[in-house]
Amino acid sequence: MRLLIAMMKHETNTFSPVPTDLARFRDWALIEGDAVPAVFAGTNHPLAAYLDLAREAGAEIATPIAAEAMPSGPVHADAYEFLTGRILDALSGGGFDGVLLDLHGAMVAEGEPDGEGSLLARMRAIAPDLPIAVTCDLHANVSARMVDNCTVLVGYKTYPHVDMYDAGAQAGRILLRALAGEAAPVMTWGQTPLLAQTLCMGTADEPMGSLQEATREAERAGALAATLFGGFPLADIPDAGVSAVVVADGDRALAEHARDRLLNAAWEAREGFVYRGEPLAKAVARAKEMTEGPVILLDHADNVGSGGTQDCMSVIAEVLKQGLENVAVAAVWDPQAVAAMAEAGVGAEITLDLGGKTDMPAIGLKGTPLRVAGRVRTLSDGRWIVRGPMYTGVEVDTGPSGVLEVGGMRVIVISKHHEPWDMGIMTSLGIDPRHCRYLLLKSRIHYRAGFAPLAKATITCDGTGVTTSDNALLDFKNVRRPIFPLGRNA
Ligand SMILES: [Zn+2]
């Protein structure tokens, strides 16, 4: 048996000014050919599960590419052609019995709103009958074209995504059973007109907790795989929003019934997917009253893990203004500031314009730096290994990094965008988050993987940025209509 195994992942925020070229993929992961297994084996990735299954089955494998970039703006056309070209070229070589793909499901390329659907359609054009298994992120904006052009599609059931390996194992096993003639997968898909807020999709919360439990219930009742996708709402494309995919063993009616139950339940719970915030100054004042730490201050409108520029300073400025003490910030993206800190050296006092280097035309804002005076506490090369439950075992590289102490705040400054979902971002720079009163995190839900066990409370702070949870700040032109809650007052 010969299997083609590949990974191509990007969650595209069409409102984000952060460019997505091949260099951005290289910053996180762009591995080619025979180097792929060594990098991903043993990690908590669908790809790692595929490699394990192939080995157990004694299959020969081809691994043309494994690529992932942190969320940002539309993927540049040449980068998209490069990544898909690697997979299509390998497929064109022929001789495969099946394909195992680790995709995101919310990739938008320049001129192609359905990055995964286009890839899969082109694969099917080359090899019309070849079985293809796909894993997608819980935030996938799944299209009909994606489902029409693969055999099995399975998504994550957790957010933070701590079941990435499990999803790969599930998809891969179904495909291998199909290849062995032990299963006959049939797949159904559907959408409900709901643009859910990412901030309301945590699976430790309601309604997402119960909705994901319903997918497990569908599997106990006979489905081979049932997924309810929350979708990714910061994508102005027709297929943005909630969808469901159910795979059954030959029984289409069972799959359709389970799909409809999931979609109806999501629609019934729609009010729970609308974020309702409070003024920033009020949120920070509320945090200041809390006596027991660490308290998470969640700067969710500048969540780099959803395409944020990671250099919006509004929440940091408000926290400094209100004088909160013993605050650790993870992290501000500002390569220029890190360079200035490195030049000054550890222990030096320095005044600089921190953050605010990126304009955000989609929301009508210019980058606004914050003038700060502080002391350089730590400098590092920004490399560390994830020990927590999400992306376990993966090496992170935030580029030249450092800690700047400004009043009662220690600000981690980095040179490559990175969402703080693991304590390593702090411990690698000499900050013990357990001993901080406040942890100001540019994250949304993924911080929970590494930081929730420490947190006494979480305060959502509505700052500025292109990952805002307020639809009114975004100009949607292409998303399908009607869709709740857009235009609910119209
Ligand atoms: Zn996700």
- Encoding tokens for residue 39? 């990098």
- Expressed in angstroms and rounded, the spacing between residue 143 Cα and the centre of ligand 1 is 17
- Expressed in angstroms and rounded, the spacing between residue 42 Cα and the centre of ligand 1 is 21
Angle, CA 421 vertex, CA 355 and CA 458 arms, to 5°: 85
- Expressed in angstroms and rounded, the spacing between residue 326 Cα and the centre of ligand 1 is 31
Using a CB cutoff of 5 Å, list residues around ligand 1, an ion: 137, 139
- Expressed in angstroms and rounded, the spacing between residue 437 Cα and the centre of ligand 1 is 28
Contacts of 288 (CB under 8 A, 6+ apart): 322, 323, 324
Residues of the chain with pLDDT under 70: 489-490
Query: What would the pLDDT profile of 55-106 be if each residue is shown by its tens digit?
Result: 999 999 999 999 999 999 999 999 999 999 999 999 999 999 999 999 999 9
- Expressed in angstroms and rounded, the spacing between residue 201 Cα and the centre of ligand 1 is 10
CB pairs under 8 A, 24+ apart, for 91-97?
Answer: 91/4, 91/123, 91/126, 91/127, 91/130, 92/126, 93/62, 94/127, 95/2, 96/2, 96/3, 96/4, 96/62, 96/127, 96/130, 97/1, 97/2, 97/3, 97/59, 97/130, 97/131, 97/179
Cα 115 off chain centre by: 16
- Expressed in angstroms and rounded, the spacing between residue 368 Cα and the centre of ligand 1 is 28
- Expressed in angstroms and rounded, the spacing between residue 421 Cα and the centre of ligand 1 is 12
- Expressed in angstroms and rounded, the spacing between residue 207 Cα and the centre of ligand 1 is 17
- Expressed in angstroms and rounded, the spacing between residue 137 Cα and the centre of ligand 1 is 5
- Expressed in angstroms and rounded, the spacing between residue 268 Cα and the centre of ligand 1 is 23
- Expressed in angstroms and rounded, the spacing between residue 156 Cα and the centre of ligand 1 is 9
- Expressed in angstroms and rounded, the spacing between residue 315 Cα and the centre of ligand 1 is 24
Query: What would the pLDDT profile of 244-259 be if each residue is shown by its tens digit?
Result: 999 999 999 999 999 9
pTM summary value: 0.95
pLDDT at 489: 56
- Expressed in angstroms and rounded, the spacing between residue 138 Cα and the centre of ligand 1 is 5
